[in-house]
Amino acid sequence: QMWINGVNEAGKMALLAWEKETGIKLLQINGQRHYGGPPPGWKGGPPPAGTEVYIGRLPQDVYENTLIPLFESVGKLYEFRLMMTFSGMNRGFAYARYASPQGARRAIGTLHRFPLRRGCAIVVCWSTQKRELLLSGLPAWVSQQELEARLQVVTEGISGVTLHTSRGQRQARLAVVKYSSHRAAALAKKALMEGNLRLMEAGVRVDWLDPQLKKKLQICEEEPSSSWVQGGESLAVPGSVALPLSLQNVMEALNRLCWKHCLTKPLFITRCVQVNPNGWQKFGYQVVIPEYPVPISGFTWVSPDKQGQSKQKAKLLAALHVLRVLGESFHSQLPAF
């Protein structure tokens, strides 16, 4: 546990004793402490939609040793997620997902306004199940392929990405990123904000997609996603990209482009220069092509990876950067990959 000593010590010790007594395992990642999904002994797939409730107005020193038994008293839990601060206190809200819609309805009917403590009635209602994020401030040249490739590296559960022109800013674009679940979207939002997603030095803002803006975007004409726009010029980019992009495919495309312009294969130098408390790694990279005037370099954040592929992810993003720089330099069609 990544806790600050001296903060709610009694509550933390009670939680550890409860975990040891019950054998329950809690996993904390990206600001959420997670139980289940599925729980021990679960058989079959996840529960259907309409089984998750939102829990609000929680005292910040209350933990799962109090909350999980309470919410299991009305129905079988599939998953419980408590939002956490770096100090080890909760952020005042949680999500409980039940094995059936009936369990969720009982939780709302029984536990809404439940006096968890004297003068402290909690809120229990249906989870909104938000699954779409809005990325604003994207540079005009960014393509759907490059954006989705970058997002695939730092988030999980992407089910769709669409690009739109920002009417307020000619040189900026908006992207709507849809995720497979609310949990995946919430983790992605936190990861993107804390991981500081950057696209060639352009800062990106991440928010939940507002329903009214969603309607407006749906009736607007969507810009073609198969080109990079730079200075009013459209530069063709691969139209047959199968996502998630692999390092092998991108490197093949880059090598073909270099061969076409009589350049030798690029030499990649990547190095991890920083690791933040959530395990994100900041890589610096430099790509040297002997016949090209200057090295191509930059920095990128890479999400935690249990399979040890962080350096490969960084190289993939560096290769995408080089592809874009060379494409703009040569003003010619990039090879398909």
157-177, pLDDT tens digit by residue?
Answer: 888 888 887 655 555 678 899
| Ranges in the chain annotated CATH 3.30.160.20 | 247-329
Q: What pLDDT score was predicted for residue 197? A: 59
Distance (Å, whole) CA 102 – CA 74: 9
Mean pLDDT value of segment 287-293:
85
Percent above pLDDT 70 for the chain? 80
Distance (Å, whole) CA 13 – CA 5: 12
Q: What is the CATH number of domain 132-219?
A: 3.30.70.330
- Is residue 243 scored above 70 in pLDDT? no
8 A C-beta contact, residue 61 and residue 89: yes
Looking at the domain covering 247-329, what would its CATH class be? alpha beta
Percent above pLDDT 90 for the chain? 29
- Is residue 79 scored above 90 in pLDDT? yes
Mean pLDDT value of segment 116-127:
92
Q: For domain 9-126, give the fold.
A: Alpha-Beta Plaits (3.30.70)
Q: What pLDDT score was predicted for residue 120? A: 92
| Averaged pLDDT score across all residues of the chain | 80
* pLDDT, tens only, 174-227: 889 998 888 788 888 877 876 555 554 456 788 888 887 887 777 653 333 333
Q: What pLDDT score was predicted for residue 238? A: 34
| Ranges in the chain annotated CATH 3.30.70.330 | 9-126, 132-219
> What sections of 23-97 are H helices per DSSP?
64-72
Cβ contacts of 100 within 8 Å, gap of 6 or more? 47, 51, 75, 76
Q: Within 13 Å of residue 296, how many CA atoms lie on the same side as its CB?
A: 21
pTM, two decimal places: 0.52
* pLDDT, tens only, 232-242: 333 233 333 33
